[in-house]
Structure 1
Amino acid sequence: MSLRKLPEVQAFQKPEWLNFEPPDQNIDAFDPAVISAGADDATEISIYGQIGIDPFTAVDNSERRIAAALRAIGKRDVTVSINSPGGSFFSGLAIYNLLRAHPAKVTINVIGMAGSAASVIAMSGDETLMADGSFIMVHNASGVVVGNKFNAKDAAELLAEVDDAMAHIYAARAGVDAKTAAAWMDRRRGDGTMFNASSAIEQGLADGKVSAAAVKVKADASRAVPRERVMENALVAAASMSPQDAKAFIADLKSGTRDAPGNVTRDADDLKAAIQQLRSTIRS
Structure 2
Amino acid sequence: MSGEASFVWLTCQAPIRFDTTCKSCSKLTNHSLGQFVSSRTRSKELCLGWTRPKTQSRLNNLTMMPIGVPKVAYRVPGAPQADWVDIYNRLYRERIIFLGQEIDDEISNQIIAVMLYLDSEDNTKPIYLYINSPGGSVIAGLAIYDTMKHIASEVVTVNVGLAASMSSFLLAAGEKGKRLALPHSRVMIHQPMGGAKGQASDIQVEARQILRIKESLVRDYCNMTGQPYEKMLKDLDRDNFMSAYEAIEYGLIDRVIETKAT
Determine if the TM-score, normalized by the shorter chain, exceeds 0.5.
Answer: yes
Contact 1:109–1:210 at 8 Å: present in 2 too? Answer: no
Residue 261 (structure 2) pairs with residue 206 (structure 1): no
For residues 96 and 160 of structure 2, what CA distance do their matches in structure 1 show?
A: 13
**Structure 1 runs (4+) greater than 3 angstroms displaced:** 38-41, 211-214
- TM-fit CA distance, 1:118: 1.4
For residues 156 and 136 of structure 1, what CA distance do their matches in structure 2 show?
A: 27
| AA at the equivalent of 2:117 | A
| AA at the equivalent of 1:46 | F
1:198 to 1:41, Cα distance in 2 relative to 1, 3 A: farther
For residues 116 and 147 of structure 1, what CA distance do their matches in structure 2 show?
A: 27
User: What's the counterpart of residue 192 of structure 1?
Assistant: 239
Flag structure 1 segments of 5+ consecutive residues without an equivalent. Answer: 1-34, 54-59, 215-284
Of 230, 234, 241 in structure 2, the residue corresponding to residue 183 of structure 1 is 234
Bigger RCO of structures 1 and 2 (CA < 8 A, at least 6 apart): 1
User: What's the counterpart of residue 72 of structure 1?
Assistant: 117
SS at match of 1:112: strand
| AA at the equivalent of 2:199 | N
- TM-fit CA distance, 1:144: 3.0
For residues 114 and 95 of structure 1, what CA distance do their matches in structure 2 show?
A: 15
1:124 to 1:83, Cα distance in 2 relative to 1, 3 A: same
User: What's the counterpart of residue 53 of structure 2?
Assistant: none
User: What's the counterpart of residue 268 of structure 1?
Assistant: none
Contact 1:123–1:169 at 8 Å: present in 2 too? Answer: no
Of 167, 170, 180 in structure 2, the residue corresponding to residue 118 of structure 1 is 167
- TM-score by length of structure 2 reads 0.59
For residues 149 and 212 of structure 1, what CA distance do their matches in structure 2 show?
A: 56
| AA at the equivalent of 2:97 | I
- TM-fit CA distance, 1:78: 0.6
1:148 to 1:105, Cα distance in 2 relative to 1, 3 A: same
RMSD of aligned C-alpha atoms?
2.3
- TM-fit CA distance, 1:212: 6.6
For residues 166 and 98 of structure 1, what CA distance do their matches in structure 2 show?
A: 16
SS at match of 1:143: coil
1:147 to 1:131, Cα distance in 2 relative to 1, 3 A: farther
For residues 104 and 257 of structure 2, what CA distance do their matches in structure 1 show?
A: 25
Of 95, 98, 104 in structure 2, the residue corresponding to residue 46 of structure 1 is 98
| AA at the equivalent of 1:151 | D
- TM-fit CA distance, 1:135: 1.7
- TM-fit CA distance, 1:39: 4.2
User: What's the counterpart of residue 142 of structure 1?
Assistant: 193
For residues 173 and 67 of structure 1, what CA distance do their matches in structure 2 show?
A: 21
SS at match of 1:111: strand
* Percentage of matched positions with identical amino acids: 25
User: What's the counterpart of residue 204 of structure 2?
Assistant: 153
Residue 183 (structure 2) pairs with residue 132 (structure 1): yes
Contact 1:89–1:117 at 8 Å: present in 2 too? Answer: yes
Contact 2:172–2:225 at 8 Å: present in 1 too? Answer: no
- TM-score by length of structure 1 reads 0.54
Aligned residues: 168
Contact 1:171–1:180 at 8 Å: present in 2 too? Answer: no
Q: Greater helix share, 1 or 2?
A: 1
Of 69, 83, 91 in structure 1, the residue corresponding to residue 140 of structure 2 is 91
- TM-fit CA distance, 1:112: 1.2
- TM-fit CA distance, 1:194: 1.2
Larger Cα Rg: Structure 1 or Structure 2? Answer: 2
Contact 1:135–1:195 at 8 Å: present in 2 too? Answer: yes
Flag structure 2 segments of 5+ consecutive residues without an equivalent. Answer: 1-86
Contact 1:42–1:73 at 8 Å: present in 2 too? Answer: no
User: What's the counterpart of residue 61 of structure 1?
Assistant: 107
User: What's the counterpart of residue 19 of structure 2?
Assistant: none
For residues 128 and 41 of structure 1, what CA distance do their matches in structure 2 show?
A: 21
User: What's the counterpart of residue 214 of structure 2?
Assistant: 163
- TM-fit CA distance, 1:197: 0.4
Of 151, 157, 176 in structure 2, the residue corresponding to residue 102 of structure 1 is 151
